[in-house]
Amino acid sequence: MNKTTSIIIPTFNEHDNIKTLVQRLSKALSGYEYEILFVDDNSSDGTAELAESLQTEYPIKVIVRRDKRGLASAVVDALSHVSGNNIIVMDADLQHPPEVVPNLIKAVEQGADIGVASRYIEGGGCQGWSFTRRMISRGAIFLAHLLLPATRKVNDPMSGFFIFKKNVVKDTHLNPAGFKILLEILMIGKFQKVIETPFTFVIREKGESKLNTRQQINYLKHIYSLMQRTGEFLRFIKFILVGGSGVLVNYGLYWILTRFAGFTPLDDASSGGIISGNLAMAISIETSIITNFLLNNFFTFADRNTGGIFRFFGRLLNFNLICLIGGLIQIGIANLLTITLGIYDLIAIPIAIIIATLWNYLLNNWWTWRH
């Protein structure tokens, strides 16, 4: 069994950091079998040359890419050069303390397929971050947890410091845009167990940050691309189709009850339509909620429809509650748009329906059919 750990380190103009990095890694990893792979995107400050000069003393490979840029794609390219079965990814700028690497190796030894050095568990943190950067980071994680359910197992799916077994990415096609390679691996890779180990993301002392607004927009594109590739976008479309079928059930049943089953139509006030018509409507609404629930349970969320009869009824209750609040949201927004803002009702109501539908989808995805 090959026990080598391959440490992939993407670099772009990190000349002033890599010597210290290699020295600290070598100290932290004495007694371990390991190799370091620098993937450099043709830095102009001599990073690759310095890395090559360190090869005489340390187990280092240097890959230089002359026609490409990008952190995540650098990691993917490096994968075809690794000789170890366990692969670590980390930054070159010492923000990922090399002393944490043995803890990541331990995670794999304890049976994890993926080990994440996490800022957002007990004992972890971010040094010197402004309130805004903290909020952006938390918001990015929230978005991933909301839209990409497989990431919910991990508190810090945005971490750039992690380990994984080579098998996790075997026969997969990784295609990340931007910075977030762990996100790609969590969504596309094959794994069972993840262990997180805490670390503090320290301040960069040398060299410059390459994280910019463009990377943050790339992140949104990456989430959308993952939603498409993993079927999460299709799930949303299915939910909408099921919702459409619910409208037909709702309307159709009201028609049957009031025309053929003895209920009085709502507009027939003189012969008791107010009570009987509303009752027919309430029965129709609840029936459509139940048919929507069944279709979503066995179609839209068929892959997450686990557990016995109690879970089933628990979900039905959740679904009812969320749809009820969704209805109130629709009424609230429609009132706000028309009465307070003076918007034409036939424009206001579709807007309110879209918002309520998003609410229904996201909440049910998050809670009723929790992954």
Ligand X SMILES: Nc1nc2c(ncn2[C@@H]2O[C@H](COP(=O)(O)OP(=O)(O)OP(=O)(O)O)[C@@H](O)[C@H]2O)c(=O)[nH]1
Footprint of Mg ion (CB under 5 A): 93, 95
- We find the least distance from the C-beta atom of residue 93 to Mg ion, in angstroms, to be 4
* Residue at token pair 């206001």: 348
- We find the least distance from the C-beta atom of residue 77 to ligand X, in angstroms, to be 9
Q: Which single residue brings its beta carbon nearest to ligand X?
A: 209
- We find the least distance from the C-beta atom of residue 213 to ligand X, in angstroms, to be 12
70 contacts ligand X (rule: CB under 6 A): yes
156 contacts ligand X (rule: CB under 6 A): no
> Which helix (H) or strand (E) covers residue 34, if one does?
strand 34-40
Out of 10, 84, 124, 326, the residue judged to bind ligand X by CB under 6 A: 10
Among the residue ranges 5-13, 117-125, 296-304, 330-338, the one whose residues contact ligand X (CB under 6 A): 5-13
Cα R_g (the chain), whole angstroms = 27
Query: Pick from ligand X, Mg ion, none: which does 152 bind, CB < 5 to 8 A by kind?
Result: none
Please give the residues from 37 up to 66 whose contact with ligand X meets the rule CB under 6 A: 39-41
184 contacts ligand X (rule: CB under 6 A): no
SS3 annotation, 270-304: HHCHHHHHHHHHHHHHHHHHHHHHHHHHHHHCHHH
What is the x/- site pattern for ligand X, positions 86-125, by CB under 6 A? -----xxx-x------------------------------
209 contacts ligand X (rule: CB under 6 A): yes
Nearer to ligand X, 39 or 195 (CB): 39
Cβ pair 85, 3 in contact under 8 A: yes
Question: For residue 65, what are its two tokens?
Answer: 């890419």
Nearer to ligand X, 96 or 235 (CB): 96
Instruction: List the alpha helices (DSSP H) in 6-97.
Output: 15-28, 47-53, 71-78
Q: How far is CA 85 from CA 6, 45, 263, 310, in A?
A: 8, 32, 70, 42
Query: Pick from ligand X, Mg ion, none: which does 232 bind, CB < 5 to 8 A by kind?
Result: none
Cβ pair 59, 38 in contact under 8 A: no
232 contacts ligand X (rule: CB under 6 A): no
Interhelix angle 213-229/131-147, rounded to 10 degrees, is: 10
Nearer to ligand X, 177 or 257 (CB): 177
149 contacts ligand X (rule: CB under 6 A): no
Which burial class, exposed, middle or buried, applies to 230 when counting CB atoms under 10 A from its CB (0-12, 13-18, 19+)? middle
**From CA 262, how far away is CA 101, in angstroms rounded?**
73
Q: How many degrees, rounded to 5, is the angle at CA 206 between CA 95 and CA 124?
A: 15
Nearer to Mg ion, 95 or 118 (CB): 95
71 contacts ligand X (rule: CB under 6 A): yes
Cβ pair 17, 98 in contact under 8 A: no
Write out the residues near ligand X by the rule CB under 6 A: 10-12, 14, 39-41, 69-71, 74, 91-93, 95, 204, 209-211
